[in-house]
Structure 1
Amino acid sequence: MTSQTTPESTLGSIAQGEAPVLERLVAMNLDSLENSGLDLKTYFLARLAALVAMDAAPVSYLMNLGLAADAGVTVEEVQGTLIAIAPVVGSARVASASGKILRAAFGVAVAEAEGTVPEQRKA
């Protein structure tokens, strides 16, 4: 890849399409990032904690953790966040989230093997 993608550029490029619902979601996320005052890593780790708390679907983890990885969030930081929130949200919720994260990661691996991952996600 010739240039490095950033979460902002990834979200911004999606917003240029013809998907009004997706465009609105992207705009909400860009506003949230800007208004949070957090650095990118902290922002995405906070979002991870919120996803776990609400027992989000695998696709939510896929979208958020993909952008988090682009922002430099490591696997160890994701694991640390899951450990930190377990006493608050419960071990069952963290176990559920971990399984959904693995499913999302497996889906990406399969798509990459089949050559169906968009170029900007192959970074």
Structure 2
Amino acid sequence: MDKESTTTYQQAKAFKSKNPFIIAFMQPSYVSAPFNLSIASKFARKYFLENDGNLVLRVPGSGSWSVKCTIGTANAKVGSGWKAFVFENKLKVGDVCVFEVLKGQLFVDVIIFRAAGNTLVHDIDIVDVGNH
């Protein structure tokens, strides 16, 4: 990890929410072939099993993408639909994504921290969780 990526990761780690979330540092296999995001199976089992792992990733101000999470013994993979999410959000190695699970919803809000320039894709709005 280079200094810029470390700074980006630290910014993502500073993210706070009352909702459960997980931080993912974009690796080569996440943003190019085979285009599979790997996350902890414990987190996926707890939050993504409803609706058979069918989720909607939302980037506020940019849109939403349907994805499928499959859960294995060691980890979970977000595969189907992930490639479109990567391309349309121009994710690169070193970017860091925070996946915030909205309670009682299929929606996962994604906050993207860019490695280059350390700028957010969008501003984080403080939203009352009850309004989702």
TM-score, L = length of structure 1 = 0.30
Please identify which structure carries the higher strand content.
2
Over alpha carbons, which structure has the higher Rg? 1
Please identify which structure carries the higher helix content.
1
